[in-house]
Amino acid sequence: MVIECFQDYESVSSRAAELVCEAMSENPGGVFGFATGSTPERLYELLVTHYQRGEISFDRLTTVNLDEYIGLAINHEQSYATFMQHHLFGHVNVQPDSIHFPAAVPDPSVFEQLIQNKGGIDLQILGLGSNGHIGFNEPGSPFDSRTRVVSLAPSTIQDNARFFDSIEDVPHQAVTMGIQTIMEARKILLLACGPAKADAVARCLQGTQTEDMPGSCLQAHSDVTVLLDEAASSGLNK
């Protein structure tokens, strides 16, 4: 595991964009896993800029997203499909039939088969929840879990309420890649910023590997790069 610490969110995002661009240049026809939430927003903005400069192309890329809410229409303003379209996919030359999200219907396992048929995930981008979740794998998720329907933890619903008109509007279920699915990616890039992530960062990166802290599974992966700002790294033993 490589841990890189930066002064601020902008620096984290810039370094993340550099690493993703390198990976895309090395493997332009690869399978790349994308995350949603506020942390990767600037990364995606920078990737659009690199694309507009002609430095990268999404034309041959296959994309798979970590998760999607259940109960929101695909075109709902807070669906993750809409998020990705707004922040990245709608601004680059990714092929529409190369964009993939997990779905509860007809069966979440279809997503697993799709990933396998494409040869597996080459690079998976991750954020980290304040309770240590990756994707929507909440505390208690088995390390051998696969893509499935999950119920969101109250803390996650509270964290995500800022994106909705009220907390009552936040979906209580989602479909997510499993931890084992994530761990099978060849490379993982984890981003975490802000003081609210400091405890989870310390426990996931330097604590005991436990299903009560889902992100701690990453300690067992052979190729993980973690990018942190000063606030998120403040709890680490350096």
Per-residue pLDDT tens digits for 130-155 = 999 999 999 999 999 999 999 988 98
Share of the chain above pLDDT 90, in %: 91
Position 193 confidence tier, pLDDT thresholds 50, 70, 90: very high
Angle at 189 between CA 193 and CA 216, to 5 degrees: 75
Residue 178 carries which side chain, given as an amino acid letter?
G
Determine the pLDDT at residue 140. Answer: 97
Quote the radius of gyration of the chain (alpha carbons, Å): 16
- Amino acid 121: pLDDT: 98
Q: What was the pLDDT predicted at 74?
A: 86
CB 120 within 8 A of CB 112: no
- Tens of pLDDT, residues 89-131: 999 999 999 999 999 878 999 999 999 999 999 999 999 999 9
| Element housing 2 (H / E) | strand 2-6
Q: What pLDDT was estimated at residue 104?
A: 80
- Residue found by looking up tokens 């902008």 in the block: 10
- Section 154-178 average pLDDT: 92
Of the pLDDT bands very low, low, confident and very high (cuts 50, 70, 90), residue 12 is very high
Mean pLDDT of the chain: 96
Please return the burial class of 143, using the count of CB atoms within 10 Å of its CB with bins 0-12, 13-18 and 19+.
middle
Catalytic residues: 67, 131, 133, 138
Instruction: Say whether pLDDT at 195 is over 90.
Output: yes
User: At a CB cut-off of 8 Å and minimum separation 6, what does 104 contact?
Assistant: 70, 149, 175
Tell me: the pLDDT tens digits for 22-64? 999 999 999 999 999 999 999 999 999 999 999 999 999 999 9
Assessment of whether the complete model's pTM goes beyond 0.85: yes
Count of C-beta atoms within a 10 Å radius of residue 204: 24
Q: CA distances (Å), 139 to each of 49, 50, 87, 93, 133, in order?
A: 36, 36, 28, 37, 6
Distance CA 20, CA 23 (A): 5
Q: What is the pLDDT of residue 32?
A: 99
Does 68 have pLDDT greater than 90? yes
Instruction: Supply the pLDDT for residue 238.
Output: 73
pLDDT at 73 over 90: no
Range 2-226: architecture per CATH? 3-Layer(aba) Sandwich (3.40)
**pLDDT, average across residues 223-236:** 98
The pLDDT, as a whole number, for residue 105 is 76
